[in-house]
Amino acid sequence: MSDLKAPLRPKRKKVWVDYFVKFRWIIVIFVVLPISFTLYFLTYLGDVKSEMKSYKRRQKEHDENVKKVVKRLKERNPSKDGLVCTARKPWIAVGMRNVDYKRARHYEVDLSAFRNILEIDSERMIVRAEPLVNMGQISRASVPMNLSPAVVAELDDLTVGGLINGYGIEGSSHIYGLFSDTVVAYEIVLADGQVVRATKDNEYSDLFYAIPWSQGTLGLLVSAEIKLIPVKEYMRLSYKPVVGNLKELAQAYIDSFAPRDGDQDNPSKVPDFVETMIYNSTEGVMMTGRYASKEEAKKKGNVINNVGWWFKPWFYQHAQTALKKGEFVEYIPTREYYHRHTRCLYWEGKLILPFADQWWFRFLLGWMMPPKVSLLKATQGEAIRNYYHEMHVIQDMLVPLYKVGDALEWVDREMEVYPIWLCPHRLFKLPVKTMVYPEAGFEHQRRQGDTSYAQMYTDVGVYYSPGPVLRGEVFDGADAVRRMEDWLIENHGFQPQYAVSELNEKKFWRMFDADLYEHSRKKYGAVGTFMSVYYKSKKGRKTEKEVQEAEQAHLETAYAEAG
């Protein structure tokens, strides 16, 4: 974790919340873990039941559920009812951002039935899924067929809808982009109840490009068609330790997947999967993976590591052993590799249950891990969640690849959070300018990792308690996030909206581009029906008056332009 350096700030006086957080593991072990395991098991049974149904029956149920959504939207009285939101409880969302927008009066539409895989088409190489289908469910169905979504987010609980409307990345994103870049069609229920299928080349192409990052504020997503790729049974994973300063670690990370000769599309030079963990300011482990057949993995002398077993060391700690024993290679079953961070929630599990990484806990209770994030949120009150916002960081910084060294130095200087997760992703040059977009003229610079059609970005994942907090010093979490957001704006970076944000509206639209989004909101009737993406992402309680005034301003603008 973060190095305990000499104190730099005054000591912070402890309050009752500190002691509650310190002993929160009691509630987690005796309440959260048992309920989590029960919910996981019931969800699994539901998935099995769904898989037993024919695709035809699933489609019939889907069509019936879509009709219910349409009926519900058409029953809404705009002059009396609040803005439209899903009926999902605020604490169920996996993201750490408080779902405060639901505290204002709103009109609920129930999407809880939309949790079926509707089709896996091996000819079109498409999986069609409803928005509440999660990554564990898809990989469980597709990997035995030697198929997989091109991008599979690491945590089992992350849903198709959340990854599309929000943000999703994986170790294959340096090839395929973000999760939303792998979607070929959306089925959307618009504000007026019209059901449309949006693709990049049909009449709803503007809506297709506007949906990602919109947080469900353009319409209700009821299904998506997602690109599949062929995969093999195992991942051949190489672990390479690197020692040096942060700029040297950053360059080693870039070199692990981006050929210096610019041949970024050459599969013999670019691995299938990339991931790096920076453990402190001088040490990191670079991991690269390639799909491997069962025959190759089981050859004499090869090491197979079933990281999915409950008693196995947590993945980030297992990778860290490369710093002592040097470079090594092993084979991991593909699905277990995909979800390698699920059991320990990256390294957040160490904060939730400080002893859960010990061999005796893993052996006795590891099978109950992880606690559901939604239940962790449900068992914390206002004071606890405010404490975490101030004393804890869960942020992703999406920055141009060539600036990753600067980002690492900024995090070390301002937050002192370790480990840091690095995962590259392409940001494609699209026919239209979307909310997130590459730097102008990147294709002429052709920096390491870039191509003519995409700029290479990287996710700098910052998840843990900052060094000053671990040392008992004063730390202003909100101010640190504000400074991080300013740094991102200055460096053409982006902040995923699942995280706690301190952005005001002006800065929000400096970070993101509003043109296509606002065009689509007005064209498809979302203004006055769905809350805007800024107000949905904004930190703090939203009063009904505040939300209605903001929407009224958008409505007046829309009417003026229509006239």
In the block, tokens 């301002």 appear at 414
Residue 140 or residue 384, greater confidence: 140
* Interval 416-429 mean pLDDT: 97
Strand partners, 333: 234
Single out the residue of 531, 528, 549, 556 nearest to residue 78, CA to CA: 528
Give just the sign of the alpha carbon dihedral 244, 245, 248, 250: positive
Question: 301: exposed, middle or buried (C-beta count within 10 Å: 0-12, 13-18, 19+)?
Answer: exposed
Least confident interval from 19-28, 117-126, 305-314: 19-28
Q: How big is the chain, counted in residues?
A: 563
* Interval 336-354 mean pLDDT: 93
The token duo for 8 is 């730099």
At residue 314, the pLDDT reads 97
* Interval 538-555 mean pLDDT: 61
Residue 3 or residue 51, greater confidence: 51
- 220-230 vs 183-189, strand pairing mode: antiparallel
Least confident interval from 83-87, 164-168, 417-421: 83-87
* Interval 245-266 mean pLDDT: 96
Name residues whose C-beta falls within 8 Å of residue 315's C-beta, 6 or more positions apart in sequence: 307, 340, 341, 343, 344
pLDDT tier, 560 (very low <50, low <70, confident <90, very high otherwise) = very low
pLDDT at 543 over 70: no
At residue 531, the pLDDT reads 87
At residue 554, the pLDDT reads 57
Integer Cα distance of 387 and 381 in angstroms: 10
In the block, tokens 């350096």 appear at 5
Rg (CA), the chain: 23
pLDDT tier, 535 (very low <50, low <70, confident <90, very high otherwise) = confident
Q: What is the pLDDT of residues 180-208, one digit of tens each?
A: 999 999 999 999 999 999 999 999 999 99
What's the mean per-residue pLDDT of the chain? 90
Strand partners, 421: 277, 461
Instruction: Say if domain 57-230 classifies as CATH 3.40.50.150.
Output: no
Q: Cβ(352)–Cβ(25) under 8 Å? A: yes
At residue 224, the pLDDT reads 98
At residue 375, the pLDDT reads 84
Cα pseudo-dihedral 202, 208, 210, 211, rounded to 10: 160
Q: Cβ(476)–Cβ(391) under 8 Å? A: no
Ordered by start, the domain boundaries in the chain are 57-230, 234-384, 392-500
Q: Cβ(454)–Cβ(177) under 8 Å? A: yes
Q: What is the pLDDT of residues 204-230, one digit of tens each?
A: 999 999 999 999 999 999 999 999 999
* Interval 533-555 mean pLDDT: 67
At residue 391, the pLDDT reads 87
Residue 81 or residue 400, greater confidence: 400
Q: What is the pLDDT of residues 294-314, one digit of tens each?
A: 999 999 999 999 999 999 999
Per-state percent for the chain, helix, strand, coil, to nearest 5 = 40, 20, 40
At residue 562, the pLDDT reads 40
pLDDT at 559 over 50: no
Q: What is the pLDDT of residues 322-335, one digit of tens each?
A: 999 999 999 999 99
pLDDT tier, 551 (very low <50, low <70, confident <90, very high otherwise) = low
Give just the sign of the alpha carbon dihedral 432, 433, 438, 443: positive
pLDDT at 1 over 60: no
pLDDT tier, 555 (very low <50, low <70, confident <90, very high otherwise) = low
pLDDT at 563 over 50: no
Q: Cβ(472)–Cβ(140) under 8 Å? A: no
Residue 525 or residue 12, greater confidence: 525
Q: Which helix (H) or strand (E) holds 66?
A: helix 55-75
Judged by DSSP in three states, 249 sits in helix
| Angle between helix 382-391 and helix 477-490 axes, rounded to 10 deg | 50
Single out the residue of 469, 480, 477, 413 nearest to residue 11, CA to CA: 469
pLDDT tier, 169 (very low <50, low <70, confident <90, very high otherwise) = very high
Least confident interval from 119-128, 155-164, 320-329: 155-164
* Interval 516-536 mean pLDDT: 92
At residue 38, the pLDDT reads 94
pLDDT tier, 413 (very low <50, low <70, confident <90, very high otherwise) = very high
| Angle between helix 404-414 and helix 246-255 axes, rounded to 10 deg | 140
At residue 550, the pLDDT reads 64
Provide, rounded to the nearest whole percent, the portion of the chain with pLDDT above 90.
73
* Interval 240-250 mean pLDDT: 98
Strand partners, 80: none
Cα 121 to Cα 133, 152, 185, 226, 461: the distances in Å are 16, 17, 14, 10, 34
Name residues whose C-beta falls within 8 Å of residue 553's C-beta, 6 or more positions apart in sequence: none
Q: What is the pLDDT of residues 126-153, one digit of tens each?
A: 999 999 999 999 999 999 999 999 999 9
